[in-house]
């Protein structure tokens, strides 16, 4: 097996997009400074972090005790990674100076043998590497590797990369072929190692990543034996819960996505990256089996995964309750990362469609438009008074909090948004693959391409191509699955082209001249989606989409009691361009629906009276920005 293309570096792209540029500006201008203050405990009303203080204590720079979750270090690592991407898209000397200060603290905290985990350095140094099930050492170090790779790519500075290299050598001195057997309880180090391999070219990092991937599930009793050999615990996790951490079978024999959703997709991304690097057909086949299980049986209409609040996990096939969804932001971010890794192996529209679905819906729904409030859980239905309060729904908060103790999601979202340029392209020796219709300038090996995009609100995108060396190459543009070939209008420098679409990509093979422009036009129709009859919670209901955007109904627009609303199958749905307020610039949907009259009696013999009602739906990603109110994606449909 040979991967079809190579990844494109973030510095090769510069987003100029009416939808995504404001998000990047929000992250660089508000989110990163706010999170930096959080990490330094400078926001009194927010949940205490103490994450940077933990590093200073471990470095001997101040006195104190470790505070926070066992994986608190990862918040700093992800902030460093996001800051590196910020410097790539928006150079800022002052931010770079502050990042260098944090890196110097991290360097001082690292132990002489390369070990780096503040929980065990400060609190339990005698227990290093003795609790892989719960300790999160490899998880935290994996995130620091990703930060190191990103910062090296952004600045060329090697200080954090040196930390990561020493740390990785320490891991390799303990684990690997012919050494001690071990696998991380929370997958992530595999991803970090592959990022280290990508920036250094050193095969030892790739090989150690492959070891951790291939070892998983080969010794089912490992965590039980580990527990029996130690005299301490962190969370008291059950080592027999093999689904939870994907150890129920060797990775090539796993046919279902099980357990903790974030752990799972981090593993699957690493599997894809290792498969691409080693040309491992069997590993890629395993990825495809797991991908198919998720997208055909376990994915919400928003692209969200992880339906079960118990253990933050996948549930059984077709169990997708909207009001009890877990749908952790990190899981959706992980799906974006995994989808891109799959695209680098094989350009298939199904991967790009899911990446797009998650990007425009279930990831950015995790952040308020003020950049200071964040969801951990992204439900498809919220009912104040029930959500966040009653048993089984306490995890479903109706409003985004400012911060929380387990704060993995906010910096994860920040690093995804700022690194978005990397997910737009792949490139081989003779083909450029354009995966996302995002406005930008891209400097690729074969050509410079300027993308002008009205997407996702309008179906209009153009690509201005300036070839570099060899002017004969192929431009392959992802065409979303909802766009039919008959509806697609393609012109190249004004000449109409007959679309040649294969596996969801439009292939244009020609000898390019400077200034050649490919223009795509396609209608964005409002679509009604219906779930399989096996999805109990969506029976008799419909969801609305236009382009890649999933829509939802909020009480603030529809008078509350959203469960009393119905949408006739014959109802016409109109698009409305919002011109003011927090929704300014987006396209909302207007329609005439029905409302059941509210009755005081708990039960009655006759059906409720029904009247017409003006209904409005807004993009799901924007819900929760106008105060506490109801929200739902699925609405009853009346035939």
| 2, pLDDT greater than 70 | no
485 pLDDT band, cuts 50/70/90, is: confident
Among 312-316, 588-592, 620-624, the least confident range = 312-316
User: How much of the chain, in percent, has pLDDT values that exceed 90?
Assistant: 85
Q: How far apart are the first and last CA of the chain?
A: 50
| 3, pLDDT greater than 80 | no
Per-residue model confidence (pLDDT) at position 500: 84
Handedness of CA 588, 589, 592, 594 (dihedral sign): negative
Among 113-117, 469-473, 597-601, the least confident range = 597-601
454 pLDDT band, cuts 50/70/90, is: very high
Two tokens, residue 188: 């992530």
C-alpha to C-alpha distance for 94 and 99, rounded to whole angstroms: 9
Q: Which helix (H) or strand (E) holds 292?
A: helix 281-297
6-7: strand order across its sheet: 6-7, 425-427, 431-434, 472-478, 505-511, 501-502
Domains and CATH numbers, the chain: 1-7+275-423 (no CATH), 426-521 (2.60.40.1180), 526-638 (no CATH)
What's the pTM? 0.96
Q: Which helix (H) or strand (E) holds 7?
A: strand 6-7
C-alpha to C-alpha distance for 49 and 78, rounded to whole angstroms: 14
Q: Is 62 exposed, middle or buried (0-12, 13-18, 19+ CB in 10 A)?
A: exposed
- Coarse DSSP helix, strand, coil percentages of the chain, rounded to the nearest 5 percent: 40, 20, 40
Residue 408 a catalytic site member: yes
Q: Which of 330, 408, 424, 621 is catalytic?
A: 408
Identify the residue whose tokens are 């990190």. 330
Label the pairing between strands 631-632 and 587-596. Answer: unpaired
C-alpha to C-alpha distance for 545 and 456, rounded to whole angstroms: 11
Shortest CA distance to 560 belongs to which of 399, 382, 396? 382
Shortest CA distance to 428 belongs to which of 505, 491, 498? 505
What is the average per-residue pLDDT within 329-334? 95
pLDDT digits (tens, 9 = 90+) for 332-390: 999 999 999 999 999 999 999 999 999 999 999 999 999 998 888 999 999 999 888 89
pLDDT digits (tens, 9 = 90+) for 144-171: 999 999 999 999 999 999 999 999 999 9
Residue 312 a catalytic site member: yes
pLDDT digits (tens, 9 = 90+) for 386-427: 888 899 888 888 888 877 667 678 889 999 999 999 999 999
Q: Which of 134, 153, 165, 312 is catalytic?
A: 312
pLDDT digits (tens, 9 = 90+) for 171-199: 999 999 999 999 999 999 999 999 999 99
C-alpha to C-alpha distance for 286 and 268, rounded to whole angstroms: 9
Per-residue model confidence (pLDDT) at position 1: 66
Per-residue model confidence (pLDDT) at position 311: 82
Shortest CA distance to 301 belongs to which of 381, 392, 399, 412? 381
């Amino acid at each position: 097996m040979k991967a079809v293309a190579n990844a494109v570096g973030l510095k090769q792209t510069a987003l100029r997009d009416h939808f995504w540029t404001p998000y990047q500006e929000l992250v660089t201008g508000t989110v990163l400074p706010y999170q930096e203050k959080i990490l330094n405990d400078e926001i009194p009303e927010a949940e205490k972090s103490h994450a940077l203080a933990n590093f200073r204590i471990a470095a001997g720079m101040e006195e104190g005790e470790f505070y926070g979750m066992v994986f608190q270090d990862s918040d700093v690592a992800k902030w460093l990674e996001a800051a590196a991407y910020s410097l790539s898209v928006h150079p800022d000397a002052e931010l770079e100076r502050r990042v260098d200060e944090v890196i110097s603290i991290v360097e001082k905290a690292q132990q002489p043998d390369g070990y780096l985990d503040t929980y065990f350095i400060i609190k339990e140094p005698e227990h290093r590497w003795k609790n892989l099930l719960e300790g999160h050492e490899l998880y935290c170090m994996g995130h620091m590797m990703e930060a190191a790779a990103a910062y090296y790519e952004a600045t060329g500075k090697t200080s954090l990369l040196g930390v990561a290299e020493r740390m990785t050598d320490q891991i390799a001195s303990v684990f690997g072929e012919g050494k001690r057997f071990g696998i991380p309880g929370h997958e992530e180090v595999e991803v970090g190692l592959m990022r280290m391999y990508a920036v250094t070219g050193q095969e030892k990092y790739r090989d150690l990543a492959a070891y951790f991937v291939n070892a998983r599930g080969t010794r089912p009793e490992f965590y039980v034996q580990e527990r029996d050999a130690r005299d301490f615990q962190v969370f008291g996790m059950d080592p027999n819960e093999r689904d939870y951490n994907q150890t129920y079978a060797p990775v090539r024999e796993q046919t279902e996505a099980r357990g903790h959703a974030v752990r799972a997709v981090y593993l699957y991304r690493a599997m894809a990256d290792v498969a691409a690097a080693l040309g491992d057909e069997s590993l890629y086949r395993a990825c495809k089996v797991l991908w198919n299980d998720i997208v055909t049986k376990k994915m919400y209409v928003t692209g969200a995964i992880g339906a079960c609040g118990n253990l933050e996990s996948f549930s059984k096939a077709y169990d997708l309750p909207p009001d009890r969804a877990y749908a952790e932001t990190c899981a959706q971010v992980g799906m974006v990362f995994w989808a891109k890794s799959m695209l680098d192996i094989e350009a298939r529209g199904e991967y790009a469609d899911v990446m797009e679905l998650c990007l425009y819906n279930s990831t950015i729904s995790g952040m308020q438009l003020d950049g200071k409030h964040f969801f951990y859980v992204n439900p498809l239905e919220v009912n104040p008074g029930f959500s966040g309060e009653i048993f089984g729904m306490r995890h479903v908060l109706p409003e985004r909090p400012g911060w929380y103790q387990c704060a993995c999601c906010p910096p994860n979202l920040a690093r995804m948004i700022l690194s978005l340029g990397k997910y737009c392209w792949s490139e081989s020796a003779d083909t450029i693959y354009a995966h996302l219709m995002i406005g930008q300038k891209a400097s690729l090996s074969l050509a410079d391409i300027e993308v002008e995009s009205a997407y996702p609100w309008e179906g209009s995108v153009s690509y201005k191509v300036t070839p570099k060396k060899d002017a004969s190459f192929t431009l392959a543009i992802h065409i979303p699955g909802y766009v039919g070939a008959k509806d697609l209008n393609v012109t190249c420098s004004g000449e109409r082209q007959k679309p040649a679409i294969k596996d969801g990509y439009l292939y244009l093979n020609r000898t390019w001249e400077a200034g050649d422009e490919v223009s795509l036009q396609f209608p964005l129709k409002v679509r009604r989606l219906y779930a399989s009859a096996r999805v109990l919670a969506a029976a008799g209901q419909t969801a609305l989409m236009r382009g890649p955007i999933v829509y939802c109904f909020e009480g603030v627009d529809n008078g509350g009691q959203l469960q009393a609303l119905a949408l006739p199958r014959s109802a016409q749905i109109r698009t409305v361009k919002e011109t003011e307020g927090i929704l300014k610039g987006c396209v909302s949907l207007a329609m005439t629906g029905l409302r059941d009259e509210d009755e005081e009696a708990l039960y009655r013999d006759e059906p409720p009276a029904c009247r017409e009602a003006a209904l409005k739906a807004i993009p799901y990603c924007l819900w929760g920005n106008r105060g506490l109110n109801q929200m739902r994606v699925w609405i009853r449909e009346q035939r």
